[in-house]
Amino acid sequence: MSFATFQTVSLGNIRLHICPSDKFKTTTFSAFITNSLQSDSVTKNALLPNVLSRGTRSYPTTVALRQKFNELYGAGSFGDVFKRGERQVIQFGMDLANETYLQDAPSLLEEGIRLFCEIILDPFAENNQFHPAFVEAEKKNLKQRIDSLQDDKIRYAAERCVQTMCEGEPYSLYTYGNAEDIAAIDAKSLYDHYHEILDRSPIDLYCVGDVDSEEVKTLFAKYFDDKMQKATRAEVPFATVSHHVDKVKMAVDRLDVNQGKLNMGCRTQISIRDEAYPALLMYNGILGGFAHSKLFMNVREKESLAYYCSSSIESHKGLLFIQSGIEEKNLERAIEIIKEQLTVMKNGEITDRELEQTKATLSNQLREGQDRAFELIGFHFQSVLSGKSRTLEELLQKIDAITKEDIKKVAEQVELDTIYSLRGKEREKQ
């Protein structure tokens, strides 16, 4: 199969990545603004995408902005934040119909880029502050989002495991910030913070679609103003992943739940930047990444101890998480079986079938991302963010060459760090 490739050009100190491809009938834009994950800015950063998406100078209300999207043949946009390692990234995205497949729409690409840039660079503001009503509404929405985390017990348990495991580290901060910090944020302080990050944070722009690279570059240079292009931007440091575990942390929360949660966190000592990363992907796949994995087959299928049991990795921080839904009476046995699987991996007890099945499943999963523009962008941005250039073709070749011994070497570095359980409330004695 052919692999999509990105052309990277500079707009001053802003990187623009373009992937011309006739595979897609729409044109997709993304912007990433990268910041250090810090307690004094995490909540403000989480607020910004939704405030900016409320209105712009030209379209100062949500209704006016929505009407403009409708005029662009139903274009759609979003804003959000996510964290990778000890960095918090603000993301904006837009999907736009390609004018090649439409009649009487000769300027659709330019109008889309103009609007996309305006949402990021020219929000509706008065007297050097955001519109107060927009800010207050989004503060309320953000607080509801943070407070509702406890309603989603799977996500809540995962977050509490991270907080316990990474206590004192920036990664322990919740992606959407702290509810107690929201009240102190106002339209002026948020507007000042917005300009601070625009002036100093690394910015990466993306365009994927059936486009001409030179035209895209010219249009982004036109609508991403000169001041933005000339600003001095400092790269955000990559997180340290080497972390020896002296003692396994234990934590228990009790809430009104019918089904308990067991989450375990491990330090892998390996990040996406390391040569052992492809072997780490294979390790995770065999341990708990897929339906044929050791955790799924042993904890769920053979022992019937869990409703689900899987593993995942955080490749920028070098973490591996095991998550399961479980009856409290089965908790200790489940922990025992999971530890056994970690030991089995350390011993290199991997069958030929597990190896080949994981290679095939992992490779297919990665290839499928070629068919979705935002996944293409996400894969490429991982390389930009990590500073490690690794194409999909190269990664697939590395995965295909992985041996059992390579996976065993990864397993020998993995250290169990935290065991977290969410259990039902203790019944009061009569």
Residues 58 and 162 in one domain: yes
* Length of the chain as a residue count: 430
DSSP 172: G
pLDDT, mean of residues 246-275: 95
Strands 76-84 and 125-126: unpaired
Residues 341 and 265 in one domain: yes
pLDDT, mean of residues 325-336: 93
- pLDDT band with cut points at 50, 70 and 90 for residue 1: low
pLDDT, mean of residues 212-232: 87
111, 72 in Cβ contact below 8 A? Answer: yes
Residues 21 and 167 in one domain: yes
What is the secondary structure of 308-369 as a DSSP string? EEEEEEETTTTEEEEEEEE-GGGHHHHHHHHHHHHHHHHTT---HHHHHHHHHHHHHHHHHG
In a domain, 89, yes or no: yes
In a domain, 236, yes or no: no
Strands 26-36 and 87-97: antiparallel
Mean of the per-residue pLDDT values of the chain: 94
pLDDT, mean of residues 42-59: 97
In a domain, 2, yes or no: no
In a domain, 241, yes or no: no
* Residue 232 or 420, more confident: 420
Residues 152 and 274 in one domain: no
In a domain, 242, yes or no: no
User: Of 183, 202, 230, which residue constitutes the final position of a domain?
Assistant: 230
- pLDDT band with cut points at 50, 70 and 90 for residue 232: confident
Residues 115 and 260 in one domain: no
Residues 223 and 271 in one domain: no
At 369, which CATH number? 3.30.830.10
Residues 207 and 73 in one domain: yes
pLDDT, mean of residues 302-307: 85
CA-to-CA dists, residue 49 to 174, 194, 282, angstroms: 16, 10, 35
Total structural domains within the chain: 2
Give the per-residue pLDDT at 238.
Answer: 87
User: pLDDT, tens digit, for every residue of 196-218?
Assistant: 999 999 999 999 999 999 999 99
Which residues, 6 or more positions from 147, have their beta carbon under 8 angstroms from its beta carbon? Answer: 179
Residues 143 and 284 in one domain: no
End-to-end CA distance of the chain: 68
The encoded tokens of residue 228 equal 């933005």
In a domain, 1, yes or no: no
Proportion of the chain above pLDDT 70, given as a percent? 98
In a domain, 429, yes or no: no
Strands 249-255 and 415-424: parallel
- Domain with 289, as residue range(s), is 249-424
Question: How far is residue 225's CA from residue 228's CA, in Å, rounded to a whole number?
Answer: 6
Give the per-residue pLDDT at 231.
Answer: 75
Residues 138 and 178 in one domain: yes
Q: Which residue has the tokens 């603000």?
A: 90
282, 288, 292, 294 alpha-carbon torsion, rounded to 10° = 100
User: Of 178, 199, 230, which residue constitutes the final position of a domain?
Assistant: 230
Q: Which amino acid belongs to residue 201?
A: S
pTM comes to 0.95
For helices 331-346 and 404-413, angle between their N-to-C axes, nearest 10 degrees = 130
Residues 225 and 322 in one domain: no
343, 350 in Cβ contact below 8 A? Answer: no
Q: Which residue has the tokens 């931007």?
A: 233
Residues 275 and 414 in one domain: yes
Asked if the model's pLDDT at residue 116 lies above 70, the reply is yes
User: pLDDT, tens digit, for every residue of 129-142?
Assistant: 999 999 999 999 99
Question: How far is residue 224's CA from residue 220's CA, in Å, rounded to a whole number?
Answer: 6
In a domain, 299, yes or no: yes
Residues 163 and 263 in one domain: no
User: Of 199, 230, 261, which residue constitutes the final position of a domain?
Assistant: 230
